[in-house]
Chains A and B, each alone.
Chain A
Amino acid sequence: MATDESNYPARMARLTARKIEQTKAKLAALGTRDEDDYGLVLPPASFKVELPARDATGQWSGPRAWAANFRWLMENHPCYIDPDDAIAGRWMFMLSRMRLGYQLSRSNFAFDYSHLEPEQKKYDITPGIGKDAHFAPDYQIGLDLGWGGLLAKVRASRRTIAAKPVFTNDNRSQVSNGTNVNIEPKIAGSSSVLTQGRAQSAALADSAYALELLDSEEQAILGVQTWIRHLAAAADDRAMSEDDPARRANLEETARTCYAIVDAPPRTFREAVQWIAVFNMASRTYNRDGAGGQLDELLRPYYERDKAAGLLTDEDAEFLVFCLLLNDPHYYQIGGPDADGRDQTSPLSYLILEAAGKLKASCNLTIRVWDGMDRRLFRRGVEILLANRQGCPRFSGDKALVEGFMRSGYSAELARRRIAVGCNWMSLPGLEYTLNDVVKINVAKVFEVAFAETERPEDLEKNYVRHFRAAVDVTARGIDFHLAHQYLNEPELMLNLLSHGPIEKGMDVSHGGATYYNMAIDGAGLAVVADSFGAIEERVVKEKALSFAALKAAVAANFEGEEGARIRALVQGAGRYGAGGTAADRWAVRLTEILRAEVAGRTTPNGFKLIPGWFSWADTIRFGKAVGATPNGRLAGEPISHGANPLPGFRKDGALTAMAAAIASVQPGYGNTAPWQLEVDIGLANDPDAAEKVMALIEGHFALGGTLVNINVVDAKKILEAHRDPSKHPDLVVRVTGFTAYFNSLSPAFRQLVVDRLIREAV
């Protein structure tokens, strides 16, 4: 008998309401944050974090220290239990941000890279050195093995490696002792095993490291297993005090589920969902990792088995997925081709989509659009996007992604398996290490450097290319530096477990453990630079309405004074990137050719492949602060343009087709993306063909070469109201870039950017 407590819509409503309360509490405690919601909740006020492996400066590095701290966090982690929720647990801490002096834009790094910093600063490069995660796990490994199986795998690998003759016991403790970073090798001169002698000591070091890493993996797993037991016990305890029989039954089932997956691989749909949630929460706790997987395919065997056995209804499955998506906005893909090119859409794909549709919270679900797809899934996705207005789902374009990744030298089969699991990025689950979305070159800054030293407009492009090349060069050296040291700084203890190689080889995924290394470099600020080049071509070169010297003087003076204002109006009136057929449009394509040639056309000095993209994440404000006025009329310090998007006002009519065509024309084309970020108030509420039209827009963009559409269909009135008074719409969720967030959690400056991007009276 269905009581209210087993009534899914009512439970969903209560869970959503609690999520909004939690978001308010986070906002009050943490302030506004221009990033993902992440699904984390605040720990109890009385909870004290006492990490065991911290040095006097608040730092730690190396596998052992990370493992010790992580295990402590897991074993002491408060157990969040909600009697309405089918999943136990919420995550509360981000270990990687607990090192003293952490900045979102610059990670702590135990190794000195000051030799790279002057040039990084010159070009405003976000080098990604010390950045973690941002590649995809293969959940299948974990679902097949369970935590006990993973533990056995780690121990077996340790035995194999320890048995190899190169190992001597003396070396073991020399790689890192956890709390003391000083014994780590510095870039120059060190007494570490890594630089003693050469070949043999390197082999010894590798072996010693392997053992330390595997020991640390073991610690991490043991920590997670303890936490699962605690969750089970907490659910049991809560069940004892629960009067409502349906809630009590749910809590008891939650406890049973948790106990079942402490060791063994999940056997039922519910256990699989709880397993994935536990991995996600643990991996978030470790280092914010948010990459998901092909959710419909991962869960399909459990779904089919349980349904056939009469253990699961579609309503149950939908609710369980709802709880998983509520638990954490990890990035999942549904639909799209399998490795052999067959469509993966299944009844479960629809259930996942419907669950996402019912989730009135941050959610990152991507539908892969391709020729052989089930169009009903695509259509349903668009209908939910239009009806919910929460930026979910979003859509990736298979054709250009597959062709692009093949251009990077991979098979069609691998290209199809490279799925949307991040903000702007695709990754091969369990096979690839990428530094996706954390390595950025601010091309507006590169342009500024080139512009400042240019005397004649005909030299500007040449100078830009030269400086861009230098920027890529120092970025590539930074990537090498990261790949050479990150394993000692911050090994990927959680993601290693779900990767093919690190455990087997005893090598961190950042240091030889992965199968493929495809290092991402994204340009940021495309439209600012394209519009600047375009304005110079139109106003200075062609029309001669302005001398290059006068423009340089006005830019240097931040367009101040009457003459500055006149020049600013003149350059702002030039045709923009995105309008279609303008000089700036041609420059955007040219800048993309330069990006391709300088990034995809080379490797790092150590031979690692580089893949270009255009994407600024949520960093347009920070990047803008580093750049003075630009010849497109942008004032000093103003934000740079977003990703591959044209600047707001690129066309009087704000035409979506123009924008779609422009962004398709600047695709880097090697398997990484230049997403189309779209905020649109579609006045199509009564148009029965609205879904068809939005589908055509998305498909047209993909047909032209587009890779990813991060789309918000919004209610302009509501968003403007929420901008004036954020408390008015605490439930308003927007897709900020690749991620979605509660609008009221964003800083006022960032909210302004979202409002500015909004295209009204379109479509």
Chain B
Amino acid sequence: MDNPQGIRGVVFDIKRGVAKDGPGLRTSVFLKGCPLRCRWCHNPESQEFEPERAVTTGELCGMETTVETVMEEVRRDKVFYAASGGGLTITGGEPLAQPAFTTALAAAALAEGIGVAIDTSGFAPWSVFEAVLAAADAVARTEQDSPHAADGTVRSKLLFLYDLKCMDGARHKVLTGVDNARILDNLRRLDAAGARIWIRCPVVPGLNDSDTDLAAIRAFVAQLRHVERIDWLPYHPLGVEKYAKFGKPVPPGLP
């Protein structure tokens, strides 16, 4: 790659001082575009890959930008990451659906000693996960002498916030628009590769919150070795009014 800092991606929001979505205080970068259509999605404006305008207010959602431009914003809170064990969260949309941008952004942050969390649905080719892990390892190699990487902790600064939504493949497809086979396969391989993982499960009343559903998730996670925690995320109807704002129909079956 000639100039990874110049790689362009479509970002629709950057939030600073976020205390969720990973450890400590974080800057969350929201990438636009997602291959899933989860019924409970609370960021419907994140689904399309192209920038779009809200039909009600005309406000533009999404802007093409560069890794370096995003890093300028990310760097501002370095002192707070250090004090809290926080860092950058790359979220979306589905960040791995903009693989080059996400990989370069993660590498840029890691190279500066900033921890990175990638908030993913897991629905991406395995090669994309491989690329992210390889980029982290490359940072570790190229910066062996740098103060950031000297302790060999680059990999430990990379965390995957990995969604598990429903273990039943057929229902997963109904609820999210895609099958979960690839998601589960990627998770097994990511675990085998020794990556740090936090599992996150949106719990939506009536859709995926039966005892059987939750037990199935627990059973699957129990087989994995590198999962540090499971967060059960209660559903909140924040997204509902955003559907109207962006001219999209509200998905059926929500509580």
A690 to B19, CA, bound (A): 8
Could you tell me if B25 and A696 are in contact, using CB atoms closer than 8 angstroms?
yes
Cβ-defined contact, A655 with B16, below 8 A: yes
Q: Which A residues lie within 8 Å of B80 (CB)?
A: 657, 660, 696-697, 700
For A659, list chain B residues within 8 Å (CB). 17
Assess whether A762 is interfacial by the CB under 8 Å rule.
Answer: yes
Provided the pairs A581-B72, A703-B79 are in contact, do residues A655 and B86 lie with their beta carbons within 8 angstroms?
A: no
A602–B19 CA distance with the chains assembled, in angstroms = 44
| CA–CA, A690 and B82, complex, Å | 16
- Bound complex: CA of A762 vs CA of B16, how far in Å? 9
- Contact of A699 with B73 in the complex, beta carbons under 8 Å: no
Q: Which of B16, B76, B84 contacts A653 (CB 8 A)?
A: B16
Within B1-29, which residues are at the interface with A (CB < 8 Å)? 13, 15-20, 23-25, 27
Question: Do B15 and A653 touch (CB < 8 A)?
Answer: yes
Q: Are A658 and B17 in contact (CB under 8 A)?
A: yes
Chain B residues, Cβ within 8 Å of A696: 24-25, 80, 83-86
Are A655 and B79 in contact, CB atoms less than 8 angstroms apart? no
Among B25, B27, B77, B79, point to the contact of A693 (Cβ < 8 A): B25
Q: In whole Å, how far is B154's beta carbon from the nearest beta carbon of chain A?
A: 22
Encoded as 1 (CB less than 8 Å from any A CB) or 0, chain B from 78 to 98 comes to 011011111000000000000
On chain A, the residues within 8 Å of B18 by CB distance are 653, 655, 763
* Given A653-B17, A658-B17, A700 and B73 contact (CB-CB distance below 8 Å): no
Complex formed: what's the CA distance from A684 to B84 in Å? 15
Q: Which of B24, B73, B76 has the largest count of A CB atoms less than 10 A from its CB?
A: B76
On whether A703 and B83 interact (CB within 8 A), knowing A653-B16, A655-B17, A696-B25, the answer reads yes
A660 CA / B80 CA spacing, docked (Å): 9
- CB of B30, distance to nearest CB on chain A (Å): 11
Given known contacts A656-B17, A657-B25, A699 and B83 CB-to-CB distance under 8 angstroms: yes
Q: Give chain B residues whose Cβ lies under 8 Å from the Cβ of A15.
A: none
Choose among A656, A660, A699, A700 the residue with the greatest number of B CB atoms under 10 Å from its CB: A700
Are A700 and B84 in contact (CB-based, < 8 A)?
A: yes
**Residue A580 is within 8 A (CB to CB) of chain B in the complex:** yes
Given contacts A580-B76, A581-B73, A657-B80, contact A697 B16 (CB under 8 A): no
Size bracket of the A interface = 20 to 34
Q: How far is the CB of B14 from chain A (nearest CB, A)?
A: 8
Say yes or no: A661 contacts B25, CB within 8 Å. no
Taking CB atoms, residues of chain A closer than 8 Å to B84 are 692-693, 695-697, 700
Name the distance in Å between A49's Cβ and chain B's nearest Cβ.
52
Contacts of A684 in B (CB 8 A): 19
Bound-state Cα–Cα, A580 to B82, Å: 19
Chain B residues contacting A660 (CB-CB under 8 Å) are 17, 80
When distances are taken between beta carbons in the complex, the residues of chain B under 8 Å from A697 are 17, 25, 80, 83-84
Q: Are A687 and B19 in contact (CB under 8 A)?
A: yes
For residue A757, give the distance in angstroms from its CB to the closest CB of chain B. Answer: 16
Q: Which residues of B contact A661 (CB under 8 A)?
A: 76-77, 79
Query: What's the interface size class on B, roughly?
Result: 20 to 34
A344 to B13, CA, bound (A): 45
A246 at the interface (CB under 8 A from B): no
Measured between beta carbons, the chain A residues less than 8 angstroms from B25 are 657, 693, 696-697, 700, 763
Q: Within B88-145, which residues are at the interface with A (CB < 8 Å)?
A: none
CB nearest neighbor in B for A651: B16
On whether the beta carbons of B19 and A700 are closer than 8 Å, the reply is no
When distances are taken between beta carbons in the complex, the residues of chain A under 8 Å from B15 are: 653, 655
B contact residues around A762 at 8 Å (CB) = 17
Choose one: B13, B20, B27, B79; the contact of A700 (CB below 8 Å).
Answer: B79
Please judge, given known A-B contacts A696-B24, A696-B25, A763-B17, whether A657 and B83 are in contact too, CB under 8 Å.
no
Which A653-689 residues have C-beta < 8 A from chain B? Answer: 653, 655-661, 682, 684, 687, 689
Decide yes or no whether A449 CB sits under 8 A from chain B.
no
Among B15, B16, B27, B72, residue most surrounded by chain A Cβ atoms (within 10 Å): B16
Question: In whole angstroms, what is the CA distance A763 to B83 when docked?
Answer: 15
A650 to chain B, nearest CB (A): 12
Instruction: Tell me the complex Cα distance, A660–B77, Å.
Output: 9
- A692–B23 Cα distance when bound, in Å, is 10
Known: A693-B19, A696-B84, A763-B17. A657 touches B73 (CB 8 A): no
Is A570 interfacial (CB 8 A cutoff)?
no
Partner of A657 from B13, B16, B85 at Cβ < 8 Å: B16
Is A312's CB within 8 Å of the partner chain B?
A: no
Across the two chains, which residue of chain A brings its CB closest to B86?
A696
Q: Does A704 contact B (CB under 8 A)?
A: yes
Using CB atoms, name the residue of chain B closest to A659. B17
The chain B residue with its CB closest to the CB of A680 is: B17
Alpha-carbon gap, A651 to B24, bound state (A): 21
State in angstroms the CA–CA spacing of A697 and B82 once bound together: 10
In the bound complex, residues from chain B placing their C-beta under 8 Å from that of A682 are 19
A693 to B161, CA, bound (A): 19
Separation of A762 and B19 alpha carbons in the complex (Å) = 8
Residues of chain A within 8 A (CB-CB) of B79 are 661, 700, 703-704
Q: What mask results when residues 640 to 660 of chain A are scored 1 for a CB within 8 Å of chain B, else 0?
A: 000000000001010111111
A763 to B86, CA, bound (A): 12
Residues of B within 8 A of A689 (CB): 23-24
Given A693-B19, A696-B24, A762-B17, CB of A658 within 8 Å of CB of B83: no
Q: Give a binary string over A118-144; 1 marks a CB under 8 Å from any B CB, 0 the rest.
A: 000000000000000000000000000
Chain B residues within an 8 Å CB radius of A651? 16
How distant is the Cα of A690 from the Cα of B84 in the complex, in angstroms? 11
Q: How far is the CA of A30 from the CA of B34 in the complex (A)?
A: 60
A176 CB, min distance to chain B CBs, angstroms: 55
Mark each residue of chain A from 595 to 637: 1 if its CB lies under 8 Å from any CB of chain B, else 0.
0000000000000000000000000000000000000000000
In Å, the complex CA distance between A697 and B13 comes to 22
> Hey, which chain A residues are within 8 Å of B73, CB to CB?
580-581
Contact with B along A687-730 (1 / 0, CB 8 A): 10110110111011001100000000000000000000000000
Which residues from B are CB-within-8-Å of A690?
19
**What mask results when residues 166 to 205 of chain B are scored 1 for a CB within 8 Å of chain A, else 0?**
0000000000000000000000000000000000000000
Within 8 A of A (CB), among B57-86: 72-73, 76-77, 79-80, 82-86
**Is the beta-carbon distance between A657 and B77 smaller than 8 angstroms?**
yes
CA gap between A655 and B19 in the complex, in Å:
10
Query: Per-residue 0/1 for B20-48: is the Cβ within 8 Å of any A Cβ (1 yes, 0 no)?
Result: 10011101000000000000000000000
Give the distance in Å from the alpha carbon of A651 to the alpha carbon of B19 in the complex.
17
Separation in Å of the B236 CB from the closest CB of chain A? 11
Q: A696-B84, A697-B80 are in contact. Are A763 and B19 (CB under 8 A)?
A: yes
- Which residues of chain A are near B82, meaning CB under 8 Å? 700
Q: List A contacts of B13 (CB < 8 A).
A: 653
Q: Which residue of the partner chain A has the closest CB to B72?
A: A581
Give the nearest-CB partner of A664 in chain B.
Answer: B79
Complex contact A658–B16 (CB within 8 A): yes
Q: How far is the CA of A704 from the CA of B15 in the complex (A)?
A: 20
Cα–Cα distance between A661 and B23 once the two chains are bound (Å): 20
Closest to B14 in A: A653
- Cross-chain contact B24 with A693 (CB below 8 angstroms): yes
In Å, the complex CA distance between A653 and B23 comes to 19
A660 to B79, CA, bound (A): 11
A704 to B79, CA, bound (A): 8
Beta-carbon contact of B19 and A581 below 8 Å = no
Cα A682 to Cα B73 with chains together (Å): 23
Contact with B along A312-333 (1 / 0, CB 8 A): 0000000000000000000000
B17 to A657, Cβ gap below 8 A? yes
Chain A residues near B83: list those with CB within 8 A: 695-697, 699-700, 703
Can you list 8 A-B pairs with a CB-CB distance of less than 8 A?
A653-B15, A655-B15, A661-B77, A684-B19, A692-B84, A693-B25, A695-B83, A699-B83
List 4 tightest A-B contacts by C-beta distance, closest first: A696-B84, A655-B16, A657-B17, A655-B17
In addition to A697-B80, A700-B25, 6 A-B residue pairs with Cβ atoms within 8 Å of each other are: A657-B27, A661-B79, A693-B19, A695-B83, A696-B25, A700-B83
A residues within 8 Å of B by Cβ?
580-581, 651, 653, 655-661, 682, 684, 687, 689-690, 692-693, 695-697, 699-700, 703-704, 762-763
